[in-house]
Amino acid sequence: PRAQTERFGDWAVYPGRVTIATTANDSGSVFGVVCADTCTSFFNFQTECEEGASYPALINSPAGAMSVTLRCTITDQRYLLGLPLSDNLIDAMSIGGELGVAFPLASGRFQVARYSMTGAYRAASRALEHAKMYGGAERSKDLRDYTL
């Protein structure tokens, strides 16, 4: 049986062998962290992407701005843009506030999305704890062990 969904601020944790911690914005776009054997973050901007393709993006938060490369994965007909965890991203999750993401579209415009980081670090840490309980992640690791 699947464990109960847990809530941390604006984030929800969906436990299991693969545990997901997510938040959604008003337009239904999702930012989250998925933990199984490892933890990584992802965005679902509700736009299509090409499997395996890389896309540049800018992320801004109270922890600072950074340029990143997002990688497209299509799972269960969902277009996900993956991003390995980094110290800057974990800092943004722990500081709170808002995380903004901008990435270029083929039309020449930018897609911009904002997400609440209220509860993000606690939710992501909890996702890792669940992955450990279900036998996925190594017991001695914490979120920063999955950064590049």
Query: 94-118, pLDDT tens digit by residue?
Result: 999 999 999 988 888 998 999 999 9
Q: What are phi and psi of 18, to 5 degrees?
A: -110, 115
Average confidence score pLDDT of the chain:
88
Q: What is the phi-psi region of residue 2: left when phi exceeds 0, alpha when psi lies from -120 to 50, beta otherwise?
A: beta
Question: Which residues lie across from 39 on neighbouring strands?
Answer: 35
Give the model confidence (pLDDT) of 17-28 as tens digits: 889 999 999 999
CA 54 to chain centre: 16
pTM: predicted TM-score of the whole model, two decimal places: 0.87
Residue with tokens 């270029």: 104
